[in-house]
Amino acid sequence: MKAQKKLNLILITLIIVLISIISFVGIFYQNKNEMKDRIPDYTLGTDLDGYRRVILAVKAEDESNKADVLKYENYIKSAGIIKKRLESMKVNDYTVRVDEATGQIEITLPENAQTDYILSDIIQKGVFEIKDNSNSEILMNNKEIKSVDVQKNEAYTGATSIYMNINFNSEGSKKFKDITKKYQNVITNTTTNETSNETANTNEAANTVSNEATNEVAGETKEPVKVELLIDGSSMMETTFSEIIDNGVLALTLGNSSSESEIETLVYQAESLAAVLENEPLPIQYEITGNIYISSPIEKNHIKILIGVEIAIAAIICIITIIKYKAKGLAVSLCSCGYIALYLLILRFANVVISLDGIFAVLLSFILNHVFNIILLNYLKKNVDKSYEEAIKKYAIVILPVLILSVVFAFSGWMSIASFGMVIFWGLVVSIIYSAILTRTFIKNM
């Protein structure tokens, strides 16, 4: 029994050490001539990482911006559509303000690798059309789009292809099925009765071999009718269909590459375009008239000092615990280190925005988790068998009000408060799960 407990202690210690290494050091791999970390970076708020301030003005020379379009309702509607696009692009910590008199829109958003791609698409009007090339008839538009998603597919050659799936609603699915039926690249038999059998054989062979831009039957060449996909009047591509598509999905290949940086760029571009397509078109055409970067009011050195102070506070708490509770104090301090490592990993993978208030929330979460450990140690002196159950009951009384407040704060419109709430929320969730699995098992085996 003692040997099994020692083995459990060693195993849990190794798990904690592994989590700590992954969280504080990372998992690096070589990408061409540089080393890259597989663990995502922290998502910092604009008060820590600076932001981009962009001014959108009504494009005066655009012929679609007629007098009856330039009105209050459309100014408000345009700002709302831009907000939806930013949300679809998963942009955090942004603001959108509109001048109700002139229609000018001011946007602030975080500065990162995606910012330029976002801005290039955010001002698109976003009118999607499928058009008959022969007579310019508009067959489908934005009204038939339900959603748009981006997917990656890695081939055995090592190259990765980026796809965009345009998912149509029920009405659009029916229309799209009819289009794929009508605009199939088929061969029409127009020869005489004497050569009809020969032509039929030629048709069968042609249909099974390929769908070329031109088809030849008994010496006759016929150009198939194509449909054209357009965004704001600019052609994306021309195509015909080799089969009837009845699942309501138009799959487009946007590019492929074996370079990770190029793949990331393609994904950024595809996701920005998808956000434009799946939301309503702008009623007004805008243009960028101001685009500046505003640095964080807090210097990087000050942030490092703040983090250093928090680490020192955590270290002092652990040292005091070890002095007071000896071996068990060392055990819970080790568990606390594993908790903060796992907690920071979750914040990174969950893409939680960390503002200045969020940094304080991390320290508060650490303290709350350590409070549970102290409660657990005190109950161990009284009743070893039921110590965890009693400790969790008392801990629930402490954290329940904090948990409720964190949820309320997380839905606040003020990003600084929302960041604080979200960071605390994840801290409590991870604390409960981590304590139930690792801390409980570690203490029990001691």
Q: Would the pTM of this model clear 0.75, i.e. be above it?
A: no
Which 8-state DSSP code applies to residue 228?
E
CA distance readout (Å), 364 to 215, 280, 317, 339, 430: 72, 42, 12, 13, 13
192: confidence class by pLDDT, cuts 50, 70, 90: very low
Place of tokens 């101001």: 290
pLDDT of amino acid 160 = 87
Do 131 and 234 contact (CB within 8 A), yes or no? Answer: no
> By C-alpha distance, which of 421, 409, 405 is closest to 362?
421
For the cut 70, the answer to whether the pLDDT of residue 194 exceeds it is no
pLDDT of amino acid 223 = 60
| pLDDT-wise least confident of 94-108, 123-137, 292-306 | 292-306
201: confidence class by pLDDT, cuts 50, 70, 90: very low
Portion of the chain with pLDDT greater than 70, in percent:
88
| pLDDT-wise least confident of 1-5, 75-79, 230-234 | 1-5
> By C-alpha distance, which of 398, 382, 381 is closest to 435?
398
Portion of the chain with pLDDT greater than 90, in percent:
35
Q: How far is residue 137's CA from residue 82's CA, in Å, rounded to a whole number?
A: 29
H or E segment and range at residue 6: helix 2-24
384: confidence class by pLDDT, cuts 50, 70, 90: low
State pLDDT tens for residues 303-355.
888 889 999 999 999 999 999 888 888 888 999 999 999 999 999 999 898 88
1: confidence class by pLDDT, cuts 50, 70, 90: low
> By C-alpha distance, which of 418, 442, 420, 432 is closest to 92?
418
Do 318 and 333 contact (CB within 8 A), yes or no? Answer: yes
pLDDT of amino acid 208 = 37
Phi, psi (rounded to 5 degrees) for 311: -65, -40
For the cut 80, the answer to whether the pLDDT of residue 218 exceeds it is no
pLDDT of amino acid 186 = 53
Q: How far is residue 301's CA from residue 303's CA, in Å, rounded to a whole number?
A: 5
**No. of H helices and E strands in the chain?**
12, 17
31: confidence class by pLDDT, cuts 50, 70, 90: low
| pLDDT-wise least confident of 194-203, 248-257, 433-442 | 194-203
